[in-house]
Structures are given as structure tokens and as C-alpha cells.
Homo-oligomer: A and B are copies of this chain.
Amino acid sequence: MLVVQKFGGSSVGDAEKIKNVAQRVYETKQNGHEVVVVVSAMGDTTDELIALARTLTSNAAERDMDMLLSTGEQVSVALLVIALKDLGCNAVGLTGAQAGIRTDGKYGKAKIVDVDPRRLKAELARDQVVVVAGFQGITEEGEINTLGRGGSDTTAVALAVALKADLCEIYTDVDGVYTADPRVVPDARKLDMVSYDEMLELASLGAVVLHPRAVELAKLYNMSLVVRSSFNKEPGTEIKEVGSMERAAVVSGVAYDANVAKIGLFDVYDRPGIASIIFEALAKENINVDMIIQGATRNGKQDIAFTVSRDDLSKALKVVSAIQPEVGAKGYTHDEGLAKVSIVGAGMVSHPGVAAAMFKALAREQVNIEMISTSEIKVSCVVALEDLHKAVKVCHEEFKLDENEK
């Protein structure tokens, strides 16, 4: 079997942890598998390098930051190879460039355009464990790109796809994907499987054990992913195509985002193009808008409300203040004490009434719903931040997520 194993920064945080990872990788190799390992920078290295650059200027160019930050993964690669060889395991380390990872030249947030797997295959054929620097690649012109935060997950999946690997394992500091955050819901249960779409929704809703870009890529190429802990031998959570699953739970998990702010505009003109003025102005400032609600028209005017991450609120308010005259708004309000609770499940699409059951459960606990959005596999409600834990718990109970899978 050909396995790609990815170890994040917390898994390679110090010499002892690197030795632990080496042991783990070596065991996989000794079990007769071909192994490609992708590593992130050690612990806080990336943050420390960013802090170092900040002592020089507050606006370093992205090309220079990529040259700086890509060193972190290279250090991890070298150290893991040294630890593997010390165990007697054949190993070779490769930078993103050496591993044939071609990127699109967008410094700081590059996309992988291609993986040339020749060197990787040659090293595997020589019976080597191949250790590759995550988070980075090189352009055709030889420029170093980083993939942005969480990019090492994407590197792992991209290599697995290029090598037609049998499995891509993402090692992290949690045991897998849970039905809810165990810090909020003590009887949350680890899921044995979730579908790509469920994982995407869970990841984008704040239950980030796996970067959404990596999940999308895995889905596109139908690559089996496993999320598991680097600190124990538990089997983790498998992420694969819904069709291949024995059953599709109606609701697989409850996710939340405690970092929600809402902005409301009153009495905006009700005519074509108004929404685009607002949301283009926000997009230009790189502000991600999550939910949008447009009220009913009264006298040619309407209300528009939307949510942004709390970190973006002050930037968003500046934008709103600037465009207020243009959209004819009488005024605007904001509320930064909000949160979002979501139920996610691939089976939802064929089970009507799931959303209604969620609303009823929240009402039973006196949780007021401010905004609602739904997709085929997700229902999200914006609630007051102080109601969040109660809301997560009642949803978890309502859909009996603490019970073992049938």
C-alpha cells in the first residue's frame, strides 16, 4: 500500500515529538507500506518568523515572506529525516521544489497547479521513505511560493493524488472528527466516517481539523482521507465518498462558530444593483461575508443584514459608513455578540423536517434565532453568543449524536 502521512506543527513541535513521528513513520514502513511524509514547520516557527519580519516593517512583500516562511518546513524535513535514519530507516528529504510541486505564483496563497511525481517515484523505488516540505511549491521560473495557512494538508492530498496513493493520513493533535466540540458537549462522540461534503461544512464552520482546500481536492479526486492523532493509535475518522458509506446519518455533527458579528442596514433602496454595491465594496477590502438576509420591501425600501467574522467588524463598519449615502440607507446597526450553530449531515437532503426539529429544540431551550441559512447538508442558526453552548448541547441531544452509530 502507498500511504501519504501528514504531520502538523504540533506533531513535530520539539525533538521528542519528531522522534515519536519518526517511530510512527518507520512502523508504517516496516509493515510493508510505501510511505511519503509531509511535514509542517515546528510548533510556533511560522509565527516566530512572522514576528521577526514585523520587527522590520509592518508590510513586508509576500514574495519575501514566502522566502522567509518556507524555511520552517525545510527545517522540519531535515530533522525528521535525521531522526528516521537514526532509527535505521532509509529516508530522503525533499523541499517542495525538489518534490516537483508546481504552484501558480500567487505568493502567500499559491495554488498547486501540478505535481511532477518523477523524483518521488524514483525515491520510493529506491525503498526510501520520502519526507516532503508541506505548505510550499515552486513556479516554473523557480520562485518559492507558500500555499497559505493550512497548506500542508493540501500538499499531502496533492501528493497522494499525484502518486495515486491508497490512503492519505492527516495526523493532528485530536483523535478525529467529533459530533460536536468535546469541550462544549462532554458526551460528543468521535465519528468513524464522514463524507467529503460533511467534512467541508464542518471545517468551514470552525471545527477545523482539516483544511477545507485539502478536503475539496480529496473530494475531486476521490482520495480517501483519515484524520487521526499523532499521539495515540486510535483509528481516527475516515473521510470518503458518501456512496461508499454503509449508512448516511441524517445528522453527523454539530458545529459552531463563536466569532460572529452582524451588521444591519435600514431602508436601503429596493432596486437592482444595490446588493452588489454593498458586497463588492466589502469584498474589495477582503471581508468575508457569511449570511445575508434581505427583508421584504416597504415603500420601495428594504432592510439588509449580513454577518462577518468579529475580527472584520470594524473594517466592515468603515465600508458601510462610506457606502451608506449611495445605497440610500437611513442608518445601520451592528451586534458583535453573536455565534452560529450548525447541524451537518449528508442524510438531511432525503429527510425533510430536520431543520424544523432543530428550530423546535432551540425554542424549547428559549434560544432566540436571529438568522437562518440552509444548504442541502447543513442548517445554520445565528444565536446570541451567551446561548451558544446551550444551543450546541440541545442540537446534539435532539439528533441523538451521543448514541453509537447503528
**Which of B15, B64, B77, B85 meets A85, CB within 8 Å?**
B64
Q: Contacts A52-B15, A78-B65 given; indicate if A85 touches B71 (C-beta within 8 A).
A: no
Contact pattern, A 18-30, Cβ under 8 Å of B = 1, otherwise 0? 1100000000000
**Which of B52, B70, B92, B143 meets A79, CB within 8 Å?**
B52
CB-based nearest B residue for A142: B98
- Neighbouring B residues of A64 by C-beta, 8 Å: 78, 81-82, 85, 93
Q: Are B67 and A95 in contact (CB under 8 A)?
A: yes
Q: Are A75 and B49 in contact (CB under 8 A)?
A: yes
A: interface residue count bin: 35 or more
CB-based nearest B residue for A86: B57
Report the bound CA distance from A168 to B46 in whole Å. 34
Number of copies: 2
Report the bound CA distance from A262 to B82 in whole Å. 37
Q: Contacts A15-B56, A18-B56 given; indicate if A74 touches B67 (C-beta within 8 A).
A: yes
Report the bound CA distance from A61 to B92 in whole Å. 10
For residues 61 through 108 of chain A, which have their beta carbon under 8 Å from a beta carbon of chain B? 61, 63-65, 67-68, 70-71, 74-75, 77-79, 81-83, 85-86, 92-93, 95, 97-98
Q: Contacts A67-B77, A78-B68 given; indicate if A56 touches B86 (C-beta within 8 A).
A: yes
CB of A131 to closest CB in B, whole Å: 10
- Neighbouring B residues of A77 by C-beta, 8 Å: 67
- Neighbouring B residues of A52 by C-beta, 8 Å: 15, 75, 79
Q: Are B95 and A79 in contact (CB under 8 A)?
A: no
Q: Are A53 and B82 in contact (CB under 8 A)?
A: yes
Q: Are B15 and A55 in contact (CB under 8 A)?
A: yes
A193 in the interface (beta carbon within 8 A): no
- Neighbouring B residues of A98 by C-beta, 8 Å: 142-143
Q: Are A95 and B144 in contact (CB under 8 A)?
A: yes
Report the bound CA distance from A52 to B12 in whole Å. 13
A60 in the interface (beta carbon within 8 A): yes
CB-based nearest B residue for A58: B86
- Neighbouring B residues of A93 by C-beta, 8 Å: 63-64, 67
- Neighbouring B residues of A63 by C-beta, 8 Å: 92-93
- Neighbouring B residues of A142 by C-beta, 8 Å: 97-98
Q: Are B68 and A79 in contact (CB under 8 A)?
A: yes
